[in-house]
Each structure stands twice: as C-alpha cells, then as structure tokens.
Amino acid sequence: MPRARALLEVEGLTVRYQVAGEPVEALRGIDLRLNAGDSLGLVGRSGSGKSSLGLALMGLLPPSASLGGRLFLDGEDLLTLSSAARRERCGRVVAMVFQEPAMALNPVMRIQAQVVEALRRRQGWQRKDEKDGVEESLEQVGLPAEIGAAYPHQLSGGQRQRVLIAMAIAPRPRLLIADEPTTALDVLTEAGILELLLTLRRSLGIAVLMVSHDLRAVGRLCARALVLDGGRVVGERPLGELIEEAALNG
C-alpha cells in the first residue's frame, strides 16, 4: 500500500555497536517523522544516542555497527538498500554539519576546491559553473569571495563553520542534520551561526534536524524536540517547556 509521504520517517530504528566483542545498544527503537521544511530538535544527555541517530540517517555508522528497523526517505525504505546505495541516495537529499569545523575540512586544500567537491553532488551541475557556484555558495553563508583562495587554518572557527554549512547546502539537500553545530564556538560566533541556519531554513525551505545538548541553541531553530534517554525517545516536547524546566532544575 502506498504510504503518506513524510520527508523522513523512522520506525523502530535500532543501532548496536560492538565494543571489545560486547554489544552496546545505542538506539533501542526510535520513531520519528519529519515533513518537508519542518524542523525538529534532538536533545538528551551525553551518550543518549543523538549522534548515532544522525549517523544512521546519513549511512555513516562504522561497519561494525548493526542497524535495524525501518527508515523511509521520501517514502523509500533505505534499509533495503546496500550501505553504498544508501549513501548515494542520501547524499543528494540529506546533508550533515558536524560539531568540529577544523576536523571536517581538508587542511591542505583551498576552500574553493572543497566547495567545488560539494557542488559536484548537485543535480545538473556543470563544470563551467564552478567559479560562480563557489562565489554564490560563499555569499549564501555571509562570506566574501576571497575566502575561496584561503586554506582552512587561515580562517576563524566561525568562518570554517560557515564554509561547512556552504558545503552542506551546495548539493541542495532537503534535510540538514546539524550535530552540535555551535558547541565548539564562542557565544557571539554561535549566535551568528544560529542566525545563519535560521535564515537558510526559511529561505531555502530545508528541513532541519538539530542535535544538541544546548536547549537554547536548539530553541533558536526548532519549536519542538525529541528527548532521548538511553537510546529511547522519552518525550516530544515544545522547546519553551524544556528550557523553562531546565532553568527551574538548574
């Protein structure tokens, strides 16, 4: 029977790692549904499984990890595909921004070359559009074109994170998974990055899944969040409520 189409639908997702021959259950049956253009936070203490969920969606779990349940992207069950096919399918639709911008960039490649690699994954991309594409991508995240000639170490942490966001959205994904995108940044830089993500979400209509233990950061982008604990969803709550509760308890 055809399914009503959500952009992303996860049913009973489980992730199990092997550590020294022993299983570690990182996710114990997660259900979630995200419509096109929607945003959802994913919060919970360290080790609750937030990153494992993002990595599972991206097909980026280590080979030793095993995955169960069902995972639909645009109504297609991704877990029936090989992990290579899943990465290929996800690569165009889903993008991820990680916590540590210094680690995610290649230190010996100029920024423009790294942005071009990301642009190549855009549907209908043509080589002759390279120069304009790089400039446009940088402009979209508030960076001047000259940044393209720089190497990652010549940029500030905030600028590097902007480059990574430019690369994430270059293939025109419909879902952006941001895993602690501002945790490594100072408060002012963090505010700028959150503002940028919010603007992009609004102008491009990208759905956002934002992973963080920082409720206020999540609250800038998402109205509601799934609360994870021990690999399970223990609630889906408005961010305002979660922030108020945390203030009372802390």
Ligand X SMILES: Nc1ncnc2c1ncn2[C@@H]1O[C@H](COP(=O)(O)OP(=O)(O)OP(=O)(O)O)[C@@H](O)[C@H]1O
CA dist 98 and 164 (Å) reads 8
Give which of ligand X, Mg ion, none residue 114 binds (C-beta under 5 to 8 Å, depending on kind).
Answer: none
Give the binding range for ligand X (CB under 6 A) out of 17-25, 77-85, 107-115, 147-155: 17-25
The answer to the question of residue 89 lying near ligand X (CB under 6 A) is no
C-alpha distances out from residue 91 to 65, 157, 199, 235, Å: 20, 25, 22, 29
Of 99 and 159, CB closest to ligand X? 99
Binding to Mg ion (CB under 5 A) within 51-90 occurs at 51
Q: What is the DSSP letter of 51?
A: H
CA dist 205 and 3 (Å) reads 23
Of 97 and 115, CB closest to Mg ion? 97
The answer to the question of residue 182 lying near ligand X (CB under 6 A) is no
Q: What are phi and psi of 22, to 5 degrees?
A: -100, 140
Please state the closest distance from residue 220 (CB atom) to ligand X, in A. 18
Q: Are 221 and 39 in contact (CB under 8 A)?
A: yes
Residue 26-55 contact track with Mg ion, rule CB under 5 A, x = bound: ------------------------xx----
Of 183 and 189, CB closest to ligand X? 183
Binding to ligand X (CB under 6 A) within 210-249 occurs at 213
Q: Are 74 and 5 in contact (CB under 8 A)?
A: yes
Q: Are 146 and 176 in contact (CB under 8 A)?
A: no
CA dist 71 and 56 (Å) reads 9
Contact positions vs ligand X (CB under 6 A): 17, 19, 24, 26, 44, 46-52, 62, 213
Contact positions vs Mg ion (CB under 5 A): 50-51
